[in-house]
Structure 1
């Protein structure tokens, strides 16, 4: 980790970064399924394809103390995907420079170390003025609680596209509070 990355992350950890103005067009969107990403493996990744399913959006990083949560996220994906849950990994280098890799390096790391099979986006910013529009929307919907504080911050999206809530990095994928929220928001079969 470079000094630059360390200094950049200190205000975020302490919660001293003021929220960025949310573009009115982003704030006016009604559904998380209105946003698009690029896929880690290449190509477009429109979230509209997941409409009607619950979605757990997680900003991830390969060199973080929370990185072992990849195993729990994969287990969650395997257990719940046939019940209507999408786990979406969003690599980000915003916190401590802990995701320095290229798309290929990130993909290889996740597959080799955690057998990750759930969908992942290309690496994007999740905080500040350069944050992906979905993360700006989450902040608009949840206020200051909508801004991730570190890697592996989780957001649960309901099948209709509204944000159910955010879960801190310390909430593991098998935490009863998270599992209960997922169970309560799975699509009706």
Structure 2
């Protein structure tokens, strides 16, 4: 099956899926063309993984193929493995609720390039435990650093691809009282009124 990758990428749900909105902030931090391209790929990657996590089984062939457009072969294969052989039985206690995502840093000069995001997941949790309506966890902030490298993609030319992502949460922050770690924890204080109307 021939896939129109440009259209498929444009159709990714950047704002999340039903009952699990993604609210992006500070995307305008990226100003130079390379920085904008890096942030765009990370946004598309997060949106794709979010969609695959909650999509009906079996996963769409088109969506699975996008993993290799947005990530290196090794990282795409690892992520595809998470979605292979998933049971089609509905989850009796699904994870629901909003996640706020802030762009903290973009570095196109490093090798590999990096994009740092902060997630506020305070209301994202199991439905039976108040996910989506009550505060779910004490450690709300999740800092994720994405590594990206340029690679040639057939039909799309050279583009950035995610090669790895490193999450930091709770007591796992490398520098808990400085820089992006501190900024992330201070920022992750939203409430449900901060979710835009769909």
TM-score range, shorter chain: under 0.3
- Between the two structures, name the one with larger relative contact order (CA 8 Å, sep ≥ 6): 1
Structure with the bigger percentage of strand: 2
Larger helix fraction of residues: 1
- The structure whose Rg is larger is 2
